[in-house]
Amino acid sequence: MTQKIMMWTALLVIILITLTGCGSGSNVGPTSIQGIVVIENVPQEGVTVKLYNNGTFYTTTTDESGYFSYDEQYCANGNRVSIIFESSEILWGHTAVIDYTVKKGVNEIGQIDLSNYGFGSLAPGADQSINRIGGEFRWTPYNRPGFTPTYVLHTFDDEVKLQGTSYTLDGTEVFPSVPDGFSHIWTVSAEYNIRPGVLVRHYLKYIEFYLVN
Q: Above 60 in pLDDT, residue 168?
A: yes
Whether 50 and 87 share a structural domain: yes
Of the pLDDT bands very low, low, confident and very high (cuts 50, 70, 90), residue 79 is confident
Averaged confidence pLDDT in the chain: 86
Question: Which of the four pLDDT bands, split at 50, 70 and 90, describes residue 128?
Answer: very high
Global pTM? Answer: 0.83
Summarize the confidence of residues 71-79 as an average pLDDT: 66
Give the H/E segment covering residue 169. strand 166-170
| Domain C-terminal end among 113, 135, 153 | 113
Q: What pLDDT does 74 receive?
A: 58
Residue 11 backbone dihedrals phi, psi, to 5 degrees:
-60, -40
The structural domain count of the chain equals 2
What are the tens digits of pLDDT across the range 26-68? Answer: 344 578 899 999 999 999 999 999 998 878 888 999 999 999 9
24 and 93 part of one domain: yes
Do 46 and 89 share a domain, yes or no?
Answer: yes
CA distance 190 to 113: 13
Per-residue exposure over 91-107, b if at least 16 CB sit within 10 Å of its own CB, e if not? eebbbbbbbbebeeeeb
Query: Looking at the structure, do residues 82 and 107 belong to the same domain, yes or no?
Result: yes
Instruction: Give backbone dihedrals phi and psi of 116, rounded to 5 degrees, phi first.
Output: -85, -10
State mean pLDDT over 102-130.
Answer: 94
Query: Which structural domain, as residue segments, surrounds residue 57?
Result: 18-113
Question: How many CB atoms within 10 Å of residue 181?
Answer: 6
Which residue has better confidence, 25 or 92? 92
